[in-house]
Amino acid sequence: MKLHELTGRAPLLPLSLELENGQTLVIEQWLRVLPEQRYVGKAQWRGRTVLAKLLIGNKASRQYQCELAGAQLLTEQEITSAELLDFQQQSDGSAYLLFEFIDNAQSLAAAWQECQSDKPLSDRQTAVLGAALSAVALMHLRGLWQSDLHLDNLLQQGEQVYVVDGGGVQSEQAGQPLSQEKAIANLAVFFAQLPSAFDAHLEELLIHYLLANGEHALRLENLQKQILSIRKWRVKDYLKKAGRECSLFSAKINLFGLRAVWRAAEDELEPVLSNLDAAIASGHIYKTGGAATVARIECGHRTLVVKRYNIKNLMHWLKRFWRPSRAWHSWREGHRLSALRIATPQPLAIIENRWCGLRGRAWLISEYCGEQDIIDRLATYQDNDAVPEAEVSALTELLNALIREKISHGDLKGHNILWYQQRCYLIDLDAMQQHHSMRSFTRAYQKDRTRLLRNWPQQSPLYKLLDQRLPQLPSNCSED
């Protein structure tokens, strides 16, 4: 096959590609694919294993020049990166770059996944973030920055960190330290991807950066402002992706229906998505009738929860058809929480029935996160003085996260907080809202807090403990 003939999201492997110079490239594994634009894979070339970046389509020439320039900048400035072995822009418009394949390496993103649920700034987290910040600092010291800075673009092999993905590498004045303004802007991109709980630890984390690059006294206030701005943009951009076809989501929307699926789970979910009502009927039903039906189902190796939003009668339909469904609202808010690193079952798919754009029944499929809610979890503590420290700390952490992001739940009863893997998970997000005004959020938060405490008798030791420990907001909060 010729390079320009590549098509689809997952071309069959192994795949032999004939290059214009007469050499053959055999792709063994796809690592990242943007259909009809960019294919990145592990390959065999001239008897050795390489990382192949294959570019096709009308953007190929520009992307090739960016990738080549970035790779050359990293080499020239002696930034540890994969060696560029071969590259060519072909006469048919396609292009390729071949890099050494770094064996036994792990992306810092994968290392972060293993420890992201630790308490903020655990030893493991500090090791990952410290390695990343040291690599970023060295780039800044040499006048470079990576516009698409994230942990997936840093590989670690033993103690050595490699900078990969030269397409995002840019220079201000190669060989000269990056200006303070550019350095802060790039660091803000990095920190904005971390949970906001890490904002309180910026000074500690920046020590790793300053040990490798102490050229500037970084202004923490400026950095914090830019982090907040970028984080808001990232969440907004992510929520847009949750409703359209992209690398993360498979989406089909027309006048007669909506279907959006987390792409990584699409193949496994397909048998269920084709007949959700049958899956619900054969599963364990928690709730049936009325406005919603909820069931636990098995799908391959996954346990899932399916919630069907029913239309009770004509009057109910007349109230619902013209506005976004509750399933869609829960889908968006679930992904908002996920983007903000607030624990909630991962939303995996949403389906809406539509007729000429008018909405009918809808289904939301989410991960299964156990069945023990916080009321059940704390039942044995209600009438004694024992302190359930892990549970109270987790509840406090959850409410503090909602305060940081100015998010109200709308129905924060104990049954809507699951206890799973030593954390509190929010469910039933139909009424969730992120507020722009601190004043409106304060009112909504007080209602949420009051609703949560109503789960226990006011005179019980547990109620008094929670009322003392759960965060409160002053009733006269000014606008923010």
Topology adopted by domain 106-241? Transferase(Phosphotransferase); domain 1 (1.10.510)
Could you tell me which of 459, 371, 376, 466 has the C-alpha nearest to residue 420? 371
User: Both tokens of residue 279?
Assistant: 């899956």
Tell me how far apart the alpha carbons of residues 399 and 396 are, in angstroms, rounded to a whole number.
5
What's the one-letter identity of residue 318? L
Residue 199 DSSP label: G
Half-sphere exposure for 469 (CA within 13 Å, toward CB): 19
CATH 3.30.200.20 placement within the chain: 3-100
CB 112 within 8 A of CB 128: yes
CA distances to 56, 131, 282, 464 from 309, rounded to whole Å, are: 43, 47, 18, 37
Degrees, nearest 5: CA angle 33-68-26: 45
What CATH number is given for 3-100 in this structure?
A: 3.30.200.20
Could you tell me which of 409, 471, 401 has the C-alpha nearest to residue 444? 409
Question: Helices then strands (H, E): number in the chain?
Answer: 14, 22
| pLDDT at res. 395 | 96
Report the 10 Å Cβ neighbour count for 155.
Answer: 24
Which residues of the chain are under the pLDDT cut of 50? none
Tell me how far apart the alpha carbons of residues 216 and 178 are, in angstroms, rounded to a whole number.
9
Could you tell me which of 101, 104, 19 has the C-alpha nearest to residue 54? 19
Residue 177 DSSP label: P
CB 53 within 8 A of CB 164: no
Q: Within its chain, how far is the Cα of 329 from the centroid?
A: 18
pTM for this model (two decimals)? 0.84
Residue 283 DSSP label: S
Topology adopted by domain 374-469? Transferase(Phosphotransferase); domain 1 (1.10.510)
| pLDDT at res. 90 | 95
Which residues 6+ apart lie within 8 Å of 223 measured at CB? 184, 187, 188, 191, 202
| pLDDT at res. 217 | 81
Cis omega before residue 14 (within 30°)?
A: yes
| pLDDT at res. 216 | 82
Written out in words, the top-level CATH class of the domain with range 249-367 is: alpha beta
CA distances to 6, 327, 420, 429 from 307, rounded to whole Å, are: 39, 8, 19, 12
| pLDDT at res. 320 | 62
Tell me how far apart the alpha carbons of residues 428 and 402 are, in angstroms, rounded to a whole number.
15
